[in-house]
């Protein structure tokens, strides 16, 4: 199916069916980057189909890894053994903050200079959080315009540091660990909230020793990585759109197969449980430390909830879709402590407010979230993705329960993380 830049979403009467999702975006980035540093050829099945992970593959290719993308969902990456080649051109990270930030930790230890740039959205995103730790480790990092991309990095020998991340960010933790892997001595990262731990698990899968205690992670530099064969679990942040769609229809019957259930990513399941949606885990396996399972969803009348503090940090990618379904809950939702949403692919707080209002919802916008009353009836309208994949998909979900059709402008943004979204949504939405 060709994805149009505009999509019309018609209301649904139910959600039913079985879906299997392409590989997790966060895990795909990490496996690809570590594969580039490893000895040997890494074979990845169910690699993310999103444009963001394609940006990572193009960048590691430019850095000397041999990338072979099969017709199906597989990718083979012949690693460099740890010594990357200087890229002849600046590295294009596209829309992907993960590519720019995590890759900066990889190239900072290499004996060359390079530049990382991105599209308009990425060019507005904060990079001081990258500059600070890498500079302390001994790299020279320059930004433009008070801490914005492009990043110019002069790499070289790094020293291990102890680093307290000021923001709860798995990307920052990861870039420090990736730099630490190549640094002299030990590197420790401590975070205010324990964020997704895919980097720790991936480093171990590739053979590195990583020590963890509460919110602290340490790695000793100079360890060699060895290629792996791995299946990338289905993306739970993509599954979130289908879980929330099913949540809107009591009696819906949805099965999601082979989806990642890493506990640092699965907070949505607990939140949905408090909102009246049961997700039964019907199978569970572990691959390279990552949990993978099949979920069966049972929805009842949807009640609201309050999300604050650490919970908001753990649900950061799922908050737009939770906010988009909030007006349909019985008691509404209060979502706070989520200021980071303002510096994602778009200002997601403003984008959600604008789109909810375009559909006739009442919403109070705060600096760090929203108060959204429940029991509201929404009408179809014209909403805008702001070229942000999660905003496009969140409002496709909201549109399923609205009265009348909804036009989503910039709907093709979904393919940043989830190319099959529109096709799968059509398949499970009964009309
Ligand atoms: C990601 C971490 C989060 C998340 C992003 C992916 C990762 O970003 O929003 O989609 O893969 O580590 P931050 O680290 O900026 O919170």
In the predicted structure, residue 33 carries a pLDDT above the cut 70: yes
CA of 189 from ligand 1 middle (Å) equals: 16
* Chain centre distance of CA 235: 9
Residue minimizing CA distance to atom 9 of ligand 1 = 317
Q: Which atom of ligand 1 is nearest to the CA of 237?
A: 10
d(CA 83, CA 77): 15
Query: Counting atoms of ligand 1 from 1, which one is nearest the CA of 29?
Result: 11
* Ligand 1 center from residue 224 Cα (angstroms): 26
The 10s digit of each residue's pLDDT in 179-208 is 999 999 999 999 999 999 999 999 999 999
For the segment 135-182, what is each residue's pLDDT rounded down to a tens digit? 999 999 999 988 999 999 999 999 999 999 999 999 999 999 999 999
**Averaged pLDDT score across all residues of the chain:** 97
State residue 146's pLDDT score: 86
State the distance from the centre of ligand 1 to the C-alpha of 30, rounded, in angstroms.
12
pLDDT in tens, 380-410: 999 999 999 999 999 999 999 999 999 999 9
- pLDDT of 47 > 80? The answer is yes
Which of 334, 356, 365, 346 is closest to 406 using CA atoms?
Answer: 356
Provide mean pLDDT across the span 363-391.
98
Q: Where are the domains of the chain?
A: 6-23+233-430, 25-231
CATH topology of domain 25-231: UDP-n-acetylglucosamine1-carboxyvinyl-transferase; Chain (3.65.10)
Mutate to test the pocket of ligand 1, among 23, 93, 97 (most ligand atoms within 8 A of CB): 97
pLDDT at residue 70, as a whole number:
85
Helix 97-107 vs helix 51-62: crossing angle, to nearest 10: 20
| CA of residue 380 to ligand 1 center, whole Å | 31
Ligand 1 nearest atom to the CA of residue 26, by list position: 11
CA distance 17 to 429: 9
Equal fold, 6-23+233-430 vs 25-231:
yes
Name the superfamily (CATH) of residues 6-23+233-430.
Enolpyruvate transferase domain (3.65.10.10)
Q: How far is CA 369 from CA 274, 306, 373, in A?
A: 20, 11, 13
pLDDT at 158: 98
Q: Rounded to an integer, what distance in angstroms lies between the CA atom of residue 240 and that of residue 237?
A: 5
Torsion over CA: 179, 182, 184, 185 (sign): positive
Query: How confident is the model at residue 4, as a pLDDT?
Result: 59
What residues flank ligand 1, with Cβ below 6 Å? 26, 98, 169-171, 174, 196, 316-317, 340
The reported pLDDT for the residue numbered 1 is 45
Instruction: Identify which of 316, 342, 345, 389 to mutate to test ligand 1's pocket (most ligand atoms within 8 A of the CB).
Output: 316
Q: In what order do the strands lie in the sheet with 14-20?
A: 277-287, 290-299, 253-260, 14-20, 429-430
Report the residue among 165, 171, 232, 237 best suited for mutation to probe ligand 1: largest number of ligand atoms under 8 A from its CB: 171
Ligand 1: centre distance to CA 402 (Å): 30
Give the atom of ligand 1 at the shortest distance from the alpha carbon of 343: 15
Query: pLDDT tens digit string along 208-220?
Result: 999 999 899 999 9
Tell whether the model's pLDDT for residue 421 goes beyond 60. yes
Ligand 1 pocket: which of 126, 170, 317 to mutate (most atoms within 8 A of CB): 170
The DSSP letter of residue 4 is P
The reported pLDDT for the residue numbered 72 is 85
Predicted confidence (pLDDT) per residue in 314-355, tens digit: 999 999 999 999 999 999 999 999 999 999 999 999 999 999
Q: Which residues are catalytic?
A: 317
Whole-model pTM: value is: 0.98
d(CA 72, CA 315): 31
**52 CA to centre of ligand 1 in angstroms:** 12
Residue 3 banded pLDDT, cuts 50, 70, 90: low
- The tokens for 162 are 């102890």
* Distance from Cα 65 to the centre of ligand 1, integer Å: 24
- The closest of 155, 224, 221 to 188, measured between CA atoms, is 221
The percent of residues above 90 in pLDDT, for the chain, comes to 97
Mean pLDDT of 78-106: 98
């Amino acid at each position: 199916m060709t994805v149009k830049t505009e999509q019309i979403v018609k209301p649904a009467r139910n959600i039913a069916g079985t879906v299997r999702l392409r590989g997790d975006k966060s895990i795909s980035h990490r496996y690809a980057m570590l594969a580039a540093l490893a000895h040997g050829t890494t074979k990845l099945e169910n690699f993310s189909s999103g444009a963001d992970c394609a940006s990572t593959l193009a960048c590691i290719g430019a850095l000397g890894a041999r990338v072979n993308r099969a017709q199906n969902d597989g990718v083979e990456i012949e690693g460099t053994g740890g010594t990357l080649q200087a890229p002849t051109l600046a590295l294009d990270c596209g829309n992907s903050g993960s590519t720019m930030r995590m890759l900066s930790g990889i190239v900072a230890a290499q004996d060359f200079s390079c530049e990382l740039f991105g599209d308009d959205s990425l060019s507005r995103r904060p990079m001081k959080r990258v500059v600070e730790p890498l500079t302390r480790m001994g790299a020279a990092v320059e930004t433009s315009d008070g801490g914005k991309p492009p990043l110019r990095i002069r790499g070289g020998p790094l020293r291990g540091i102890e680093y307290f991340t000021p923001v709860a960010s798995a990307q920052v933790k990861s870039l420090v660990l990736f730099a630490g892997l190549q640094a002299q001595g030990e590197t420790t990262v401590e975070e205010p909230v324990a964020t997704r731990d895919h980097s720790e698990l991936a480093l171990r899968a590739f053979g590195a020793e990583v020590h963890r205690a509460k919110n602290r992670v340490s790695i000793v530099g100079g360890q060699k990585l060895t290629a792996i064969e791995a299946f990338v679990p289905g993306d739970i942040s993509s599954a979130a759109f289908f879980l929330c769609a099913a949540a809107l229809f009591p009696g819906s019957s949805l099965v999601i197969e082979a989806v990642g259930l890493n506990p640092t990513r699965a907070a949505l399941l607990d939140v949905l449980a408090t909102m009246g949606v049961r997700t039964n885990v019907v199978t569970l396996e572990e691959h390279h430390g990552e949990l993978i399972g099949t979920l069966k969803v049972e929805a009842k009348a949807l009640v609201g909830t309050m999300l604050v503090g650490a919970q908001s940090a753990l649900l950061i990618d799922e908050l737009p879709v939770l906010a988009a379904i909030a007006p349909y809950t019985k008691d509404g939702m209060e979502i706070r402590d989520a200021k980071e949403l303002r510096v994602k692919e778009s200002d997601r707080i403003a984008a959600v407010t604008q789109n909810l209002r375009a559909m006739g919802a009442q919403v109070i916008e705060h600096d760090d979230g929203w108060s959204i009353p429940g029991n509201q009836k929404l009408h179809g309208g014209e909403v805008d993705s702001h070229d942000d994949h999660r905003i496009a998909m969140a409002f496709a979900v909201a549109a399923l329960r609205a009265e009348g059709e909804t036009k989503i402008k910039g709907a093709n943004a979904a393919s940043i993380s989830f190319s099959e979204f529109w096709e799968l949504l059509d398949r499970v939405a009964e009309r």
